[in-house]
Amino acid sequence: MNGLKHKNFRMILTLLVALLMLPASARADEPQAAAEEKVDVKEIVFGHIGDAYEWHITTWGEHHVTIPLPVIVYSPTTGWHTFLSSKLHHGSYEGLSIAPEGSPYEGKLVEHDAQGAEVRPWDFSITKIAFALMLNSLLLVIIILGVARWYKRHPEGTQAPRGFVGMMEMFIMMVNDDIIKSCVGPKYKKFAPYLLTAFFFIFLNNLMGLLPIFPGGANVTGNMAITFVLAFCTFLAVNLFGNKHYWKDIFWPEVPWWLKAPVPMMPLIEFFGILTKPFALMLRLFANMLAGHMAMLVLVCLVFISASMGPVLNAGLSVTSVFFNIFMNALELLVAFLQAYVFTMLSAVFIGLAQEEPHHEPTNEIKEI
C-alpha cells in the first residue's frame, strides 16, 4: 500500500513539473515568434502618410476594416474602367493591378502590354488623399456658410456673436487685420478672399490630419501635389496682378548699369526669384507637416519594436513613447496653426511687394514770396 501511494505521489509530482515547465517552454518560443512577426516600421509610417486606393480604418483580429474608394481609369487600349478598389484585393481586375514593391510604379495602378511590361493608364481615381480633400473642403464650406448664415440673421450691432461663431470672427479678423491688411497694403480687399480661404483650408486640413480615426488621419497638407497647387495659386496672384513697378524691378532693377548690361545678371536673378518664392512656400508646408506625422508614427511604433526587448525595457519605452506622443500632438496643434499662418503671411507679403508703388524722394522746393 505504501509503495502504491509513493508511486501515485511520484506521478502527481511529475505531472506538476510538466505543467510548470509548459509556460517556460512557451516563453522560450516567444522570442522566435516575435522574430518572425517583426514590426515593419517603414510599412506602417509610409502606409499612413502615403496615398492609397482605399481608406484603412483599423484591423480587427485578422480582418482589415477598410472603406473601398472608386477607381476611375482610362486605358488607351481597353478604354474606361470604373469599379471599387475592393475588386483589387484578389489581384488584378479587368487587366488592372496595383504595382508591387520594387516596381517603378509601386503602389499605383498599372496594366501590362503585349510584352508584359507595366504601363500606367490615365488614373482619375478617388484616392484617400483626394477623398479627404473633398471631405475637408465640404466641411469648410459648411462651416463658413453656417457662420455667414448667423450674420445674415443678426444685423450688425444687434447682437455680439458667441461660441463657435465668435471664435470664427476672432480668427477671421485676426487674419484680415494682422496679416492681409498689414502685408498687402491699400489694395488688400482684392486679395482677402483668396488669402482667407488659403488660411482656413490649410488650418482645417492640418487639424483633420491629426485625428487618429476616420474621417481624419489623411496627410493632405503633407502631400506635395496639394502644396504645389496652393503655391501655384499664390504665384498666379502675385504675377497676374503685379503692377508696372513690380515688373520694372525684375527686368530693369535700380542697380549699377554693369549689373544689367551687357550681361543681364540682376534681371536673371530677379526672374529666378519669381520661381523660388512659390517653391519655398510649397516645400516649407510639405516638409513641416510630413515631418510631424512621421515623428508621431515612429514614436507609436517604438512601443511595438521594444516588445521583444523584455518587459522592463518595453515598459520604460512605452511610457516614454506615450508621453512624447502627447507632447508631439500638442506641438502639432501649434504647428497646424503656425503653418497656416506662415503660408498666408508670406503669400500676403509676396502679393504686397507686387502691388507696391514707387517711392519718390521729396524735393526741396524754394517758394518765392
Query: What are the pLDDT digits (tens) for 1-53?
Result: 444 444 444 554 444 434 334 443 333 344 444 434 566 666 777 767 778 88
- Both 336 and 349 in one domain: the answer is yes
Task: State the pTM of this model.
Answer: 0.80
Give me the number of domains the chain comprises: 2
Residue 336 C-alpha from the chain's centroid: 10
**SS3 for 83?**
strand
- Both 275 and 171 in one domain: the answer is yes
82 phi/psi in degrees, rounded to 5: -135, 120
> Any residues with CB less than 8 A from the CB of 164 and at least 6 apart, and which?
147
Whether residue 262 is predicted with pLDDT greater than 80 in this model: the reply is no
Q: What pLDDT is recorded for position 245? A: 82
- Both 99 and 244 in one domain: the answer is no
Task: Among 61, 91, 123, give the residue marking a domain's end.
Answer: 123
180 domain residue, yes or no = yes
pLDDT tens per residue across span 70-129? 999 999 888 999 999 888 887 888 888 888 888 888 888 989 887 878 889 999 999 999
How does the average pLDDT of the chain come out, rounded?
Answer: 80
289 domain residue, yes or no = yes
DSSP 90: T
- Both 275 and 301 in one domain: the answer is yes
Range from 33-37, 193-197, 211-215, 245-249 that averages highest in pLDDT: 193-197
- Both 119 and 157 in one domain: the answer is no
- Both 137 and 168 in one domain: the answer is yes
Q: What pLDDT is recorded for position 24? A: 36
- Both 99 and 117 in one domain: the answer is yes
pLDDT band at 279 (very low <50, low <70, confident <90, very high): very high
Q: What pLDDT is recorded for position 251? A: 81
7 domain residue, yes or no = no
Q: What pLDDT is recorded for position 147? A: 92
Whether residue 182 is predicted with pLDDT greater than 80 in this model: the reply is yes
- Both 189 and 163 in one domain: the answer is yes
Residue 72 structural domain: 53-123
Whether residue 55 is predicted with pLDDT greater than 90 in this model: the reply is no
Range from 22-36, 142-156, 289-303, 316-330 that averages highest in pLDDT: 142-156
User: Which of 15-19, 116-120, 142-146, 360-364 has the least mean pLDDT?
Assistant: 15-19
210 domain residue, yes or no = yes
320 domain residue, yes or no = yes
Task: Among 107, 123, 139, give the residue marking a domain's end.
Answer: 123
46 domain residue, yes or no = no
Query: Degrees (nearest 5) of the Cα angle 224, 226, 232?
Result: 95
Please report which helix (H) or strand (E) contains residue 12, including its range.
helix 2-36
Contact 321, 295 (CB under 8 A): no
pLDDT band at 179 (very low <50, low <70, confident <90, very high): very high
- Both 171 and 236 in one domain: the answer is yes
48 phi/psi in degrees, rounded to 5: -85, -40
Rounded to whole angstroms, how far apart are CA atoms 156 and 362?
A: 43
Rounded to whole angstroms, how far apart are CA atoms 343 and 197?
A: 12
Q: What pLDDT is recorded for position 29? A: 43
21 domain residue, yes or no = no
DSSP 114: T
**SS3 for 112?**
strand
Q: What pLDDT is recorded for position 30? A: 43
40 domain residue, yes or no = no
Which amino acid appears at position 228 of this protein? Answer: F
- Both 114 and 133 in one domain: the answer is no
Task: Among 104, 123, 142, give the residue marking a domain's end.
Answer: 123
pLDDT band at 307 (very low <50, low <70, confident <90, very high): low
- Both 66 and 173 in one domain: the answer is no
- Both 267 and 341 in one domain: the answer is yes
> Any residues with CB less than 8 A from the CB of 351 and at least 6 apart, and which?
183, 184, 191, 195, 234, 237, 238, 241
Hey, what long-range contacts does 233-239 have (CB within 8 A, 24 or more apart)? 233/194, 233/198, 234/198, 234/278, 234/281, 234/347, 234/350, 234/351, 235/274, 235/277, 235/278, 237/191, 237/194, 237/347, 237/351, 238/274, 238/277, 238/278, 238/350, 238/351, 238/353, 238/354, 239/274, 239/354
The average pLDDT across 141-165 equals 87
